[in-house]
Structure 1
Amino acid sequence: MERAITIQYGSIELKATLHYPEAAKTNEGDQGGQCPLIVICHGFVGNRIGVDRLFVGAARKFAAAGYMTLRFDYAGCGESTGDYGEGGLDSMIEQTRVVLDYALDIDYVDLNRVSLLGHSLGGAVALLTAAQDRRVKQLLLWSAVAHPFNDIVRIVGQNTYDDAIRYGSADYMGYSLRPAFFESLSAHQPFAQLRKFAGDVFLAHGTSDRVVPADYCSLYQKLFWMRSFGQCDMELLFQADHTFSSGESKRELYDKTLHWLTYNEKRKREWHNWEI
């Protein structure tokens, strides 16, 4: 079952879609068993549908596998109100935490199995959120941005950035980008913050990504492995592009992500039994 919802963030309405797992009992007063949660964070000037319905397919796949899944539009994107980029990355982190507040208030969500899934710039936002919010237990990072300022300026072009600084705003695909947005990008360094997250991480990146370098994936893994706690596994998808646009790339991405989630839960159970 899928349900359109609205999550309030100050005066801004964040539009979202909640996917209930097939095994969940959703009748009023019947809480059913606890289930894991995945919250999907879309990328730069994206939306909760995703390019070529990337996030729709993912959410339905996860729900069919027993995961409560929530995908939402950041302010100024998709159907949400507000202006994109206002408040910068700090606002996006706050929005993600407000969405977590909503999702974790659902009675049958397992608070010990909470994952953030972030794609592209959403990957950086998911990581930065997890570094601040201990409610996040796992990270699923698809084609994640590693250097927010450099990566976004490369995407929008140097002229767009120069116009924003010179004139106070610049148009990019109909979005008005202001200097404060770019300043917030330079203020956040995911590589420097990832040590604050002690949970497990799954990384996926396409080898044919022309938007965010695939080399970031191995760099992320090396740095995650330098932490005192937490596992990190990586999958490089051969010939997949930035948005995993082909049917084969999507199927492989969904299957490998779900396989990791299942494998990681088994690994934790075995480790817990070994400790006992």
Structure 2
Amino acid sequence: MQQAVSLLHNNQVMRGMAHIPLTDHKEAPAVILLHGFTGSKLEPHRFFLKISRELEVLGIASFRFDFLGSGESDGNFEDMTVLNELAEAETILDYVRSHPSINSEKVIVLGFSMGGLVASLLAGDHPEKIEKLILLAPAGNMAEKAKGMEKNSTYIKDVNAYDIGGNLIGKDFIAQLKSIEVWERAKYFERDVLIIHGSKDEAVSIEESKDYQEKCYQGKVTLRIVTGADHTFSSYQWEKEVIESICSFVK
């Protein structure tokens, strides 16, 4: 059963979708899906929706929200930062764990692209609340990308932000990226991790997934490389391979 849900964070509304399987079991496992930079709860080619539907067939619930400033949620994109999204993800995690239809001990977090960075920090900060972690093309080294944003974008003084393809990126977002110790924070999650990355991803280097594997999750991680795939796994076969890997991992 799919239904619209909303959640209050700092007096602003995050809007999302909950997929709750109709089963005889009172409490279902759940997956939280965290979207990427400039993304939404749907993601390209309705990728997140398709994942949620397949999980529901397996009797697994899922929750996918737009971060504040993205999609249909309140807020402005120029106010978005990684740590703001992390705080929003904490609110989502607590909501899902307290949901009457969900088994609080079986909550999995999935993050795509920059959502993967947020997911890795969330799991590292709250390892006792998360059963498993899934990272799709995770952007671990955003600090390097921030330098390029500053160099190659137009700064608009009136809003204290950079114009990147029509999206306003606040100065705080860029400054903060340079100070986050991703590997140090992420390594405290010591349960099972699945990382999936396309071999021809030009947006986030596959080396970033290998960094997660080597610097954070040695011995407890499976790295799956989808041959030929781009950043968003934008073909039927690539998408199918990713969804099958996710379903196999969570069940």
Aligned to 1:72: 65
Q: Does 1:128 align with 2:121?
A: yes
Aligned to 1:249: 238
| CA distance in structure 2 between the aligned counterparts of 1:201 and 1:165, rounded to whole angstroms | 42
Deviation at 1:83, TM superposition (A): 1.4
Q: Does 1:18 align with 2:7?
A: no
Letter of the structure 1 residue corresponding to residue 235 of structure 2 = S
Deviation at 1:87, TM superposition (A): 5.6
Q: How does 1:89-168 map to 2 (within 5 A)?
A: 89-133=82-126, 134-154=128-148, 156=149, 158-160=151-153, 163=155, 168=160
Q: Does 1:52 align with 2:41?
A: no
Once structures 1 and 2 are overlaid, which stretch shifts more, 50-59 or 82-91? 82-91
- Is the CA contact 1:224–1:232 (under 8 Å) kept in the aligned structure 2? no
Aligned to 1:273: none
Aligned to 2:212: 220
What percent identity do the matched residue pairs reach? 24
| CA distance in structure 1 between the aligned counterparts of 2:178 and 2:73, rounded to whole angstroms | 25
- Is the CA contact 1:204–1:236 (under 8 Å) kept in the aligned structure 2? yes
Deviation at 1:215, TM superposition (A): 1.9
- Is the CA contact 1:42–1:120 (under 8 Å) kept in the aligned structure 2? yes
Q: Deviations along 1:15-49, whole A, 9 cap, x unmatched?
A: 100011242x6xxxxxx432111000000011001
Aligned to 1:176: 168
Once structures 1 and 2 are overlaid, which stretch shifts more, 131-140 or 203-212? 131-140
| CA distance in structure 2 between the aligned counterparts of 1:193 and 1:165, rounded to whole angstroms | 33
| CA distance in structure 2 between the aligned counterparts of 1:209 and 1:215, rounded to whole angstroms | 10
- Is the CA contact 2:201–2:229 (under 8 Å) kept in the aligned structure 1? yes
Deviation at 1:102, TM superposition (A): 1.5
| CA distance in structure 2 between the aligned counterparts of 1:157 and 1:62, rounded to whole angstroms | 40
Q: TM-score, normalised by structure 2?
A: 0.92
Once structures 1 and 2 are overlaid, which stretch shifts more, 39-48 or 191-200? 191-200
| CA distance in structure 2 between the aligned counterparts of 1:192 and 1:176, rounded to whole angstroms | 29
| CA distance in structure 2 between the aligned counterparts of 1:39 and 1:194, rounded to whole angstroms | 17
Once structures 1 and 2 are overlaid, which stretch shifts more, 170-179 or 126-135? 170-179
How many residues matched? 250
Unaligned runs of 5+ in 1: 26-31, 263-276
Letter of the structure 2 residue corresponding to residue 177 of structure 1 = I
Letter of the structure 1 residue corresponding to residue 240 of structure 2 = R
- Classify 1:225/1:79 alpha carbon distance in 2 versus 1 (closer, same or farther; 3 Å): closer
Q: Does 1:43 align with 2:49?
A: no
SS of the residue corresponding to residue 14 of structure 1 reads: strand
Aligned to 1:202: 194
| CA distance in structure 2 between the aligned counterparts of 1:213 and 1:206, rounded to whole angstroms | 9
- Classify 1:164/1:231 alpha carbon distance in 2 versus 1 (closer, same or farther; 3 Å): farther
- Classify 1:118/1:225 alpha carbon distance in 2 versus 1 (closer, same or farther; 3 Å): closer
Letter of the structure 1 residue corresponding to residue 169 of structure 2 = L
- Classify 1:138/1:151 alpha carbon distance in 2 versus 1 (closer, same or farther; 3 Å): farther
- Classify 1:244/1:87 alpha carbon distance in 2 versus 1 (closer, same or farther; 3 Å): closer
Bigger Rg, which one: 1
| CA distance in structure 2 between the aligned counterparts of 1:140 and 1:57, rounded to whole angstroms | 16
Deviation at 1:167, TM superposition (A): 7.7
SS of the residue corresponding to residue 129 of structure 2 reads: coil
Deviation at 1:63, TM superposition (A): 1.3
Deviation at 1:151, TM superposition (A): 3.0
| CA distance in structure 2 between the aligned counterparts of 1:153 and 1:13, rounded to whole angstroms | 31
Letter of the structure 2 residue corresponding to residue 197 of structure 1 = F
Deviation at 1:197, TM superposition (A): 1.3
| CA distance in structure 2 between the aligned counterparts of 1:180 and 1:165, rounded to whole angstroms | 14
- Is the CA contact 1:118–1:126 (under 8 Å) kept in the aligned structure 2? yes
